[in-house]
């Protein structure tokens, strides 16, 4: 079923230049805004979200702890906080998040034949709870998994297939290094 929710289309500088449906944005590979929040633990683990089997891009793969599109009228930080609440059930504040960087990402999913072309604000959140404390967003998330940074930096080709491909792009690995430095 097509997703007719509307999102802003942006230019390379992040300026809003239009509006279209999420479906068309991914079908045509139009540039839009997103956020990712990477949960990490004091033990040096990254918590990954296991995407539902029917997601429109990268179904049934491990992805950022929390992520979402910036809705019309919102901004990156508000979106990050709202997505954390929606996808995990946690109520956190802006002070709980650490801004890491902005990234430009364009990935084609050969399974769904859609392109996710985004300007993305990246945040980190020190998670002190247990994975079992995280509430799953029905229909969107299968679960959460913790992977040690050591294992991520030395991942086997077999284990790489469990993740969306961009997790191992140099800019994402650099985000993990920045998180590791804060431990």
Question: pLDDT value at position 139?
Answer: 86
Please write the tens of the pLDDT for every residue from 9-45.
999 999 999 999 999 999 999 999 999 999 999 999 9
Q: Are strands 114-126 and 6-10 parallel, antiparallel or unpaired?
A: unpaired
**So what's the pLDDT on residue 21?**
96
**In CATH, 6-181 is 3.90.79.10:** yes
Other CB atoms within a 10 A radius of the CB of residue 100 amount to: 19
Tokens 């491990």 locate to 62
Per-residue pLDDT, averaged over 60-77, amounts to 96
pLDDT tens column, 102-146? 999 998 888 889 999 999 999 999 999 999 999 999 889 999 999
Q: What is the pTM of this model?
A: 0.93
Domain extents for the chain? 6-181
């Amino acid at each position: 079923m097509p997703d007719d929710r509307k999102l802003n289309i942006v230019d390379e500088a992040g300026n809003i230049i239009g509006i279209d449906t999420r479906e068309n944005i991914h079908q045509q590979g139009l540039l839009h805004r997103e956020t990712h929040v990477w949960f990490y633990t004091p033990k040096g683990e990254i918590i990954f979200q296991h995407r539902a089997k029917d997601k429109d891009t990268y179904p049934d793969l491990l992805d950022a702890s929390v992520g979402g599109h910036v809705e019309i009228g919102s901004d990156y930080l508000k979106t990050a906080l709202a997505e954390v609440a929606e996808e995990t059930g946690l109520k956190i504040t802006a002070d709980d998040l650490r801004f890491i960087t902005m990234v430009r990402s364009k990935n084609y999913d050969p399974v769904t034949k859609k392109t996710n072309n985004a300007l993305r604000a990246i945040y980190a959140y020190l998670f002190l709870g247990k994975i079992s404390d995280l509430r799953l967003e029905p229909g969107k998330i299968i679960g959460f998994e913790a992977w040690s940074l050591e294992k991520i930096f030395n991942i086997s080709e077999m284990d790489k297939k469990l993740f969306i491909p961009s997790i191992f792009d140099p800019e994402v690995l650099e985000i993990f290094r920045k998180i590791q430095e804060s431990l």
